[in-house]
């Protein structure tokens, strides 16, 4: 599927977003497509529903040993990011219980706490995977390898963002977030533009 619009300012820098199949596809043809796209890409995002992302096993599954090793070999570990979607979908009582928050915590505060927990957990698992790779490769200083890479995590709500931007006038007010910035979408858009400009600069330097 190819989509194009002059209104998508986030792509004005020349960025191209490619929606590839999942990393654990049993279909060999689709799996080959993923491997090819990763090699061709300047950056790789793992996108998951935030409820699934905070599951103890999910980050390890999505960043499985084979996938981590391929990213490292392709030089993509530094360009990896995690996008946790549907940050506006949660029940206050359940969030208070699972995150051990006071029962009178507001829905927005619960969502903020879940975003923070998600980012911390994903980064912890990311660095644990890096240390594991370093140890398997016989690296003497695994800490040096983990210090080279950071995992940007973006918790986003496209529905609340669209409501706040006036794009869904008949769907009522936003459920959780009070501003477009809080929805996480503008921060992700800035990341896209920043990554695209870095890539363009590197290409220009290689041509010189």
Does residue 81 surpass a pLDDT of 80? yes
**pLDDT score at 119:** 95
**pLDDT score at 148:** 73
Dump pLDDT digits (tens) for 159-176.
999 999 999 999 999 999
Determine the average pLDDT of the residues in 51-60: 66
Of 154, 158, 157, give the one whose Cα is nearest residue 123: 154
More reliable by pLDDT, 16 or 84: 84
Q: How many CB atoms lie within 10 A of CB 204?
A: 9
Does residue 195 surpass a pLDDT of 70? yes
* pLDDT band at 207; cut points 50, 70, 90: low
**pLDDT score at 33:** 79
Length of the chain: 208
Does residue 67 surpass a pLDDT of 70? no
**pLDDT score at 26:** 67
**pLDDT score at 178:** 97
102/119 Cα distance (integer angstroms): 21
pTM, rounded to two decimals? 0.85
146/129 Cα distance (integer angstroms): 9
**How high is the mean pLDDT of the chain?**
82
Dump pLDDT digits (tens) for 102-151.
999 999 999 999 999 999 988 888 888 777 777 776 765 666 666 777 88
142/128 Cα distance (integer angstroms): 10
DSSP state, residue 7: T
């Amino acid at each position: 599927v190819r989509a194009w619009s002059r209104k998508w300012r986030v792509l004005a820098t020349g960025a191209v977003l490619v929606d590839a199949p999942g990393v654990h596809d049993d279909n060999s043809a689709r799996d080959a497509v993923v491997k090819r796209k990763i090699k061709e890409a300047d950056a790789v995002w793992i996108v998951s529903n935030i409820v699934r992302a905070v599951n103890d096993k999910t980050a390890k599954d999505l960043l499985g040993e084979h996938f981590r090793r391929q990213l490292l070999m392709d030089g993509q570990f530094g360009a990896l990011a995690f996008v946790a979607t549907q940050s506006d979908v949660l029940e206050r009582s359940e969030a208070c219980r699972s995150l051990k928050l006071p029962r009178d915590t507001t829905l927005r505060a619960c969502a903020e706490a879940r975003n923070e927990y998600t980012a911390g957990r994903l980064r912890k698992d990311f660095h644990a995977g890096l240390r594991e790779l370093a140890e398997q490769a016989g690296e003497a200083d695994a800490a040096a390898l983990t210090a080279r890479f950071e995992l940007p995590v973006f918790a986003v709500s496209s529905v609340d963002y669209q409501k706040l931007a006036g794009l869904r006038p008949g769907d009522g007010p936003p459920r959780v977030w009070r501003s477009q910035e809080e929805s996480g979408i503008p921060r992700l858009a800035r990341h896209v533009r920043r990554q695209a400009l870095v890539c363009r600069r590197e290409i220009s330097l290689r041509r010189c």
